Copies of this chain bind each other. A is one copy, B any other.
Amino acid sequence: MKDLRFGIIGWGYWGPKIARNLDSLPNGSLAMVCDMDERRLASIRINQPWVRTTTRPEDVFASDVDGVVIATPVRAHYQLAKAALLHGKHVLVEKPLTANIAEAEELVALAKELDRVLMVGHTFEYSPAVNELRKLVQSGDLGKIYCVEAERVNLGLFRNDINVIWDLAPHDVSILLYLFGKTPEQIKVQAHAHLQSRICDIAHLDLSFADGMAAHIHVSWLHPCKIRRVTVIGDARMVVYDDTNPAEMIKIYNKGADVHADPGVSYRYGAITIPHIDWMEPLRLECEDFAHCIRTGSLPRANGEVGLQVVRVLAAAQEALEAQSDKAYPVMVS
Interface centre among A206, A221, A251, A315 (most CB of B within 10 A): A206
Answer yes or no: A198 CB below 8 A from chain B CBs: no
Closest B-chain residue to A1, C-beta based? B46
Q: Are B204 and A331 in contact (CB under 8 A)?
A: no
Query: Is A136 located at the chain interface by the 8 A CB criterion?
Result: no
Q: Which of B147, B188, B251, B316 contacts A194 (CB 8 A)?
A: B147
Query: Is A155 a contact of B267 with CB atoms below 8 Å?
Result: yes
- The CB with the most chain B CB atoms within 10 A, among A46, A192, A315, is that of A192
Q: In this assembly, does A233 line the interface, its C-beta being within 8 Å of a C-beta of chain B?
A: yes
Q: List 22 contacting pairs A-B, 8 Å CB cutoff, sorted by A.
A: A105-B334, A146-B194, A146-B195, A156-B257, A156-B267, A158-B257, A158-B259, A186-B330, A186-B331, A188-B327, A188-B329, A196-B259, A202-B214, A222-B257, A224-B239, A226-B247, A254-B276, A312-B332, A312-B334, A316-B329, A316-B331, A320-B328
Q: Among residues 246 to 296 in chain A, which have CB atoms less than 8 Å away from a CB atom of chain B?
A: 247-248, 251, 253-257, 259, 264-265, 267, 269-276
Bound: A256/B265 CA distance, A: 41
Query: CB-CB < 8 A to A323: which residues of B?
Result: 329
Whose C-beta in chain B lies nearest to the C-beta of A333? B183
Since A186-B328, A194-B214, A316-B329 are in contact, a sample of 13 more A-B pairs with Cβ atoms closer than 8 Å, ordered by chain A residue number, is A156-B265, A156-B267, A185-B331, A192-B214, A196-B259, A204-B204, A208-B328, A224-B239, A224-B253, A224-B255, A255-B276, A271-B273, A271-B276
A331 touches B187 (CB 8 A): yes
The interface on chain A, measured as residues whose beta carbon lies within 8 A of the other chain's beta carbons, has a size of: 84
**Chain B contacts of A312 at CB under 8 A?**
331-334
Q: How far, in whole Å, are A101 and B333 apart by their CA atoms in the complex?
A: 10
Closest CB in chain B relative to A253 CB, distance in Å:
4
B-side contacts of A185, CB under 8 Å: 330-331
Hey, which chain B residues are within 8 Å of A247, CB to CB? 225-226
